[in-house]
């Protein structure tokens, strides 16, 4: 009995912390941001890196000339959707190749606590998430890219009391990283933080 109470207490603390970062309600939809001005005829079309200044981008391109911010953001969007859904469903096989070890350990702890409490979740996206590249840093051989993500999700939770549905808007900063010397082109999620909308 004491073990069950202890697991329930751990689950409450871990899930509160995850909700504070992964499920923070904010007051703006991803599509509420003003549309970028359309370039005039003949003007160069800005790429995904044009919204921020980053010495890190220049340093990364010096080491990896084929780095394309637009392609990176497309991959980050796919990874974001996979990670959010896999975490909700407790799909560890999907999560492991996408997360840095520390993040995987934190997610594992939360999933174990949720399972011990007899609760299951499913997540669906109510609108396409919006991703913006905030900054890029190159620290030695490690490239880090911070992405601001605005999303609107619906979470369906089931436990012994029945099913609950929660619609929420989230604003988060996800940090992805990879070793530029590595033959593996994949970026791993290394940190998640709440962000201002």
CB 131 within 8 A of CB 71: no
Which tokens go with 49?
Answer: 């890196």
**Could you list the pLDDT tens digit for every one of the 197 residues in the chain?**
555 555 555 555 555 455 544 544 444 433 444 444 444 444 443 444 444 556 889 999 999 999 999 999 999 999 999 999 999 999 999 999 999 999 999 999 999 999 999 999 999 999 999 999 999 999 999 999 999 999 999 999 998 888 899 999 999 999 999 999 999 999 999 999 999 86
Give the position of tokens 């619906």. Answer: 154
Nearest 5°: the CA angle 29, 172, 192 is 160
User: What value, to the nearest 5°, has the Cα angle with vertex 158 and ends 10 and 115?
Assistant: 35
Q: What is the pTM of this model?
A: 0.74
The CA dihedral of 100, 102, 107, 109, to the nearest 10 degrees, is 150
Residues counted in the chain: 197
- Report the pLDDT value the prediction gives residue 114, as an integer from 0 to 100: 95
Could you give the domains of the chain? 2-26+52-194 (3.10.450.240)
What six digits make up the tokens of 2? 């004491």
Q: What was the pLDDT predicted at 1? A: 59
């Amino acid at each position: 009995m004491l073990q069950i109470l202890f697991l329930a207490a751990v689950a409450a603390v871990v899930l509160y912390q995850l909700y504070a970062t992964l499920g923070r309600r904010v007051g703006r939809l991803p599509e509420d941001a003003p549309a970028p001005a359309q370039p005039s005829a003949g003007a160069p079309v800005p790429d995904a890196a044009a919204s921020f200044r980053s010495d890190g981008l220049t340093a990364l391109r010096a080491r990896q000339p084929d780095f394309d911010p637009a392609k990176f953001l497309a991959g980050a969007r796919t990874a974001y959707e996979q990670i959010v859904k896999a975490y909700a469903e407790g799909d560890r096989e999907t999560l492991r190749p996408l997360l840095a070890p520390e993040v995987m350990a934190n997610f594992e702890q939360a999933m174990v606590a949720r399972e011990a409490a007899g609760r299951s979740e499913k997540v669906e996206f109510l609108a396409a998430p919006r991703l913006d590249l905030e900054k890029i840093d190159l620290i030695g051989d490690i490239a880090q890219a911070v992405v601001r993500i605005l999303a609107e999700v619906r979470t369906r939770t089931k436990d012994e009391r029945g099913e609950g549905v929660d619609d929420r808007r989230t604003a988060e900063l996800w940090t992805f990283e990879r070793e530029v010397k590595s033959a593996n082109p994949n970026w791993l999620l290394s940190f998640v933080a709440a962000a201002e909308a």
